[in-house]
């Protein structure tokens, strides 16, 4: 299926690993030029070079921490200089947390608010006018099933991802008259390097393997009985970024292997 994305320009945050990398590769396979950002400059440059070589698209790597407003300003300036704007924004950068509400300091709440919410606010605010000049665009925000079905050990993650979902709805209503579609994704269990790293740490010196640890989590939570591959999330994300999804506006899509325990 031709998704009609050839020649478009996409900005992908957290684009050097996990879901962000899978989405970047999926877009590149459709002929989309990329502006990728991540904090690890060396890994980001390596990813950019690999995507250029494999798919023949232009890739602009911008080392940046999107939780910092000045880094976002610098990234947007780089995108304007290289591409003149963007057609797609995938707000993906983020990470899990571990705390209790009673013990977590203000600084930790602020850090995650800036990373999960304000990064999407600032990038959308900066890039939406450029999308309007190009005739429209797509903003897709990567939230989490935890926005609706919280995990007890990460209340800050749960709260900020829930806020990102509501932001997506509000932004969708504001931008659709300008031809910009906004949606959100709520993935469930996705086998990213972060999950594997955590599993290795928690099983070190124990009889249980890290692979068995992850399988137990999947068995306990996902009726499908396994973690998703990042590419499975990316395939759906790329579709939502395409004109083939032209009637998809202001919605939140669960890609969770059946984990969500209520209807939405």
How many angstroms separate the CA atoms of 32 and 38, rounded? 19
On whether the CB atoms of residues 86 and 32 are closer than 8 A, the answer is no
Question: Has 157 been annotated as catalytic?
Answer: yes
From 157, 213, 247, 254, active-site residue: 157
Strand partners, 59: 34
What's the CA gap between 21 and 229, in Å, rounded?
12
Instruction: Output 174-179 pairs: Cβ under 8 A, ≥24 positions apart.
Output: 175/128, 175/139, 176/249, 176/250, 178/128, 178/131, 178/132, 178/136, 179/131, 179/132, 179/135, 179/136, 179/137
How far is residue 4's CA from residue 2's CA, in Å, rounded to a whole number?
6
> What region does 181 belong to: left with phi over 0, alpha with psi -120 to 50, or beta?
beta
The C-alpha atoms of residue 183 and residue 19 are separated, in whole angstroms, by: 16
- Separation between Cα atoms, residue 103 and residue 124, nearest integer Å: 32
Query: pLDDT tens track of the chain, all 264 residues?
Result: 799 999 999 999 999 999 999 999 999 999 999 999 999 999 999 999 999 999 999 999 999 999 999 999 999 999 999 999 999 999 999 999 999 999 999 999 999 999 999 999 999 999 999 999 999 999 999 999 999 999 999 999 999 999 999 999 999 999 999 999 999 999 999 999 988 988 998 899 999 999 999 999 999 999 999 999 999 999 999 999 999 999 999 999 999 999 999 876
| Extended strands (E) in 113-231 | 137-142, 180-187
* CA dist., res. 62 & res. 252, Å (int): 28
Q: What does the alpha-carbon distance between residue 191 and residue 19 come to, in Å, rounded to a whole number?
A: 9
End-to-end CA distance of the chain: 29
CATH number of the domain at 9-190+231-255, please?
A: 3.40.50.720
| Residue ranges of domains in the chain | 9-190+231-255, 192-227
pLDDT of residue 202: 87
Count the alpha carbons within 13 Å of 58 in the hemisphere toward its beta carbon: 13
Tokens of 178: 């300008």
Can you spell out the DSSP letters for 31-87? Answer: T-EEEEEES-HHHHHHHHHHHHHHH---EEEEE--TTSHHHHHHHHHHHHHHHSS-S
Q: How far apart are CA 232 and CA 88, in angstroms?
A: 19
- Give the pLDDT of residue 194: 85
What pLDDT does residue 218 have?
A: 96
CA angle centred on 182, ends 179 and 185, rounded to 5°: 155
- As given in the structure block, the two tokens for residue 194 are 């972060």
Q: For position 262, what pLDDT does the model report? A: 83
For residue 103, give both structure tokens.
């013990």
Cut 0.85: pTM above it: yes
């Amino acid at each position: 299926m031709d998704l009609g994305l050839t020649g478009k320009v996409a900005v992908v945050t957290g684009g050097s690993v996990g879901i962000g990398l899978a989405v970047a590769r999926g877009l590149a396979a459709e002929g989309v030029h990329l502006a990728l950002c991540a904090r690890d400059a060396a890994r980001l440059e390596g990813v950019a070079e690999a995507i250029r070589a494999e798919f023949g698209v232009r890739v602009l790597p911008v080392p940046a921490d999107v939780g910092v407003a000045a880094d976002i300003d610098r990234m947007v300036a780089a995108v304007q200089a290289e591409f003149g704007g963007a057609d797609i924004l995938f707000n993906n950068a983020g990470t899990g947390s571990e705390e209790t509400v009673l013990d977590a300091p203000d600084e930790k709440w602020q850090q995650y608010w800036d990373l999960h919410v304000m990064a999407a606010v600032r990038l959308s605010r900066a890039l939406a006018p450029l999308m309007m000049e190009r005739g429209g665009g797509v903003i897709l925000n990567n939230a989490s099933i935890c926005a609706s079905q919280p995990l007890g050990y990460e209340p800050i993650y749960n709260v900020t991802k829930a806020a990102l979902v509501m932001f997506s709805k509000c932004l969708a209503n504001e931008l659709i008259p300008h031809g910009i579609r906004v949606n959100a994704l709520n993935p469930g269990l996705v086998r990213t390097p972060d999950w594997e790293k955590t599993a290795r740490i928690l099983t070190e010196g124990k009889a249980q393997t890290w692979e068995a640890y992850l399988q137990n989590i999947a068995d306990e939570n996902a009726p499908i009985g396994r973690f998703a591959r990042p590419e499975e999330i990316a395939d759906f994300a790329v579709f939502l970024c395409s004109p083939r999804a032209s009637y998809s506006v202001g919605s939140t899509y669960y890609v969770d292997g059946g984990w969500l325990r209520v209807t939405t």
